[in-house]
Amino acid sequence: MNDVHSHPNAAELLDATIEFLTDAITPAIPVEHAFHLRVALNALGMVRRELESTVDDDAAHRGRLAAIGYADDGALASALRAGEVPADRMPQVRASLLADAEARLRVVNPRFVADYDADPST
């Protein structure tokens, strides 16, 4: 591949940073900074997962919107607020919104989705 930004790419830089913070810094950090380090590592993980999923998630989101007949989120939100979504289309709208929420959760904290997949009654 002949990208302008070849190596290390953003994902590789994130992985190296996460590895360094986890392996070298975590054992040596004073306890009063441990929480902030965990927050920083979580944020870096979110960025990494977003980089991995954005293109596919965005395409799937656009496809779901098109399937239910809306050009964008604003059009769907306006139709919902105005009560203009046909009742027979609401199951598709709900499924679309749930799929979008799941995609967001997979980036923010994949354990939320994994926990739900393991026991959907919770």
Q: What is the mean pLDDT of residues 73-98?
A: 96
Confidence grade of residue 121 (pLDDT, cut at 50, 70, 90):
low
Sequence ranges of the domains in the chain: 10-118
pLDDT score recorded for residue 29: 94
Q: Is this structure's pTM higher than 0.75?
A: no
How many angstroms separate the CA atoms of 101 and 98, rounded?
5
Better-predicted residue by pLDDT, 3 or 18: 18
60 and 99 in contact (C-beta within 8 Å)? yes
pLDDT at residue number 38: 95
Residue 53: per-residue pLDDT: 87
More confident residue, 4 or 11: 11
Q: Tokens for 104?
A: 């967001």
Q: Give the Cα separation of 110 and 104 in Å (integer).
A: 9
Q: Which residue has the higher pLDDT, 114 or 67?
A: 67
- The DSSP code for 46 is H
What count of other Cβ atoms lies within 10 Å of the Cβ of residue 83? 7
